[in-house]
A and B are shown apart, each in its own frame.
Chain A
Amino acid sequence: MGGLKMSSYLELKNINKSFETEKEKKIVLADINLKIRENEFLTILGPSGCGKSTLLKIIAGFSKTDGGKLLKKGKTIKEAGMDRLMLFQDFEQLFPWQKVINNVEFAVKQAAKNKKLKLSSVQIKERALKYLKQVKLRDYQNYYPHQLSGGMKQRVALARTLAAEAEIMLMDEPFGSVDSQTRQELQQLLVQLWQEENRTIIFVTHDIREAVFLSQRIIVMKNEPGQIINIVENKLPYPRKRSSRNFNHLFEELQSQLHS
């Protein structure tokens, strides 16, 4: 981090979180401090149980903290909002009763409503189609979600989040339930979309290779209690090659940190 002054777009200050069971109080997150830059691609990497998903839920405004603050451009945020949209791992996040196009239109309509914009149905459809085209599913606009594969469903979900024009996209292991071939395709697509659009992405994963492939910075966490142990700048140039020496070097470095 050096002496450079970081512009803090999103800032987590002294975030603590614990769950109480009958017997004990379990600390999930202990004193998390993090500054996130605008338009950066950030991954949060850690073993299961390190509280990385809880941290993402706190940023989304789904979960309350036990003290600490979440600031966006210096202002405290307490509620969920369309500026921070979550992309889940669960395929059920699409509405099965709506066609692909209507699922995406839902986001366009909500975004317009929140910004108090009036859009005609033609404009709504055009916007939805633009994002479906970006995820290469334009031809599937009239399909129902159950007719799509898992990877395609996640692409629709991605189009929906993009269509809502969220500044910050929160991704909770979104590619965790698809096969490895599809996962690599989706990772490539995500990097491409991130380069085309101005978005900040906070991506939670336990997959080291995924973190190295995707992000500019990697937040390494440990469990019991969930804490940040390191922040790694990933300066590998895009598009990244999974077989390159530097890629593997970073992979090994992160692996040793996670297992220390």
Chain B
Amino acid sequence: MKSKYKQRFFWGILLAFIWQLTAVSGIFSELIFPGLDQISIVLFKSLQDGTLIKQIAFSLSVIAQGLFLATIMALLFALTAYFSSTAAGLIDTLTALAHPLPGIALMPLILIWFGSGRMAILIVIIHSVLWPLSLNLSTGFNSIPDIYTLIAKNYRLNKFEFMYKILIPASLPYFISGLKIAWARSWRALISAEMLFGAINSLGGLGWYIFQRRVFFDLPGVFAGIIVIIMIGIVVEDFIFAKLENKTVKKWGGLK
């Protein structure tokens, strides 16, 4: 684990160095290929005057809300499907229809139906999270060992007890991997939705930040936005998800 970070650090520094060399070499105009110094100045300024911070906060708050709502919906879908075969058919059909549909394809429609506010972005995020997550949860529920159902019968667990004492913990590995897919999908959906829907609450989010910089041909600004997006991605994947896995699945003896 430690050596992974060491390696990343090493290669990261090397790539940054090559970037900087290319920038100062003058092969490309600094208008289209800014140096790291210019990018950091813009990044620092944007952070300092508070606009970028507000935009990051906006993006993260929308995504957190979307993930939360979609997770609850996915849990409801998967649980209903597990306990009722009629509902399972309906949910399966809905998933088959909606899952392959990229969120971006829905954006024009959402723009007409819901306008371009926070609600519209939320809907794009929920769409991109709900289906893969409920699919993963259903797979998890259906692949718990038969022995658990026998134990539940033997110890007279009611449906509710079975759900929270066995079904959900036993399928947690599937839930976490679903959440990872959900996060990646919603992050993409969010940035593109923000670009398309423009400034919401007068400021907008990270996607809008990048889009705006492009309009002013401020490439250091565009890169600053991209760097922030990358950083948030790394923090979520390597720290939040890694921690969640270490505290659960890994501690229990790995994935089955």
Contacts and interface: CB of A to CB of B under 8 A. Distances in A.
Interface of A: 60-62, 80-82, 84-86, 88, 90, 92-93, 95-98, 106-107, 110, 114, 144-147, 164
A32 B156 CA distance: 27
A85 B256 CA distance: 26
Nearest to A146: B253
B253 A144 contact: yes
B25 interface: no
A237 B153 CA distance: 37
B99 to A, nearest CB: 28
Given A97-B170, A144-B252, A147-B253, 8 more contacts: A62-B150, A80-B156, A86-B154, A92-B147, A95-B169, A97-B172, A106-B165, A110-B155
Given A97-B170, A97-B172, A97-B248, A60 B253 contact: no
A77 to B, nearest CB: 13
Interface string B227-252: 00000000000000000000010011
B157 interface: yes
Nearest to A93: B147
Given A92-B145, A92-B147, A97-B170, A80 B153 contact: yes
A96 B156 contact: no
Contacts of A81: 154, 156
B254 interface: yes
A116 to B, nearest CB: 12
Most buried by A among B150, B157, B169: B150
Nearest to A86: B154
Contacts of B166: 95
A144 B251 contact: yes
A164 B169 contact: no
Given A88-B147, A90-B147, A97-B172, A82 B251 contact: no
Contacts of A92: 145, 147
Contact of B151 (A93, A144, A145): A93
Interface string B135-150: 0000000000101101
Contacts of A85: 154-155
Contacts of A95: 148, 166, 169-170
Contacts of A86: 150, 154
B147 A146 contact: no
Given A92-B145, A97-B169, A164 B150 contact: no
Nearest to B256: A96
A84 B148 CA distance: 16
A251 to B, nearest CB: 32
Interface string B167-190: 001101000000000000000000
A259 to B, nearest CB: 33
CB-CB nearest 6 A-B residue pairs:
A146-B253, A97-B169, A110-B155, A96-B252, A80-B153, A97-B252
A146 B154 contact: no
24 contacts: A62-B153, A80-B153, A80-B154, A81-B154, A85-B155, A86-B150, A88-B150, A90-B145, A90-B147, A92-B147, A93-B151, A95-B148, A96-B252, A96-B253, A96-B256, A97-B169, A97-B170, A97-B252, A98-B169, A106-B165, A110-B157, A146-B253, A146-B254, A147-B253
Contacts of A107: 155
A164 B151 CA distance: 12
B98 to A, nearest CB: 31
Nearest to B155: A110
A61 B155 CA distance: 12
Contacts of A98: 169
B161 to A, nearest CB: 8
A147 B251 CA distance: 10
Contacts of B254: 146
Contacts of A114: 156
A84 B154 CA distance: 8
A84 B254 CA distance: 32
A169 to B, nearest CB: 11
A51 B157 CA distance: 28
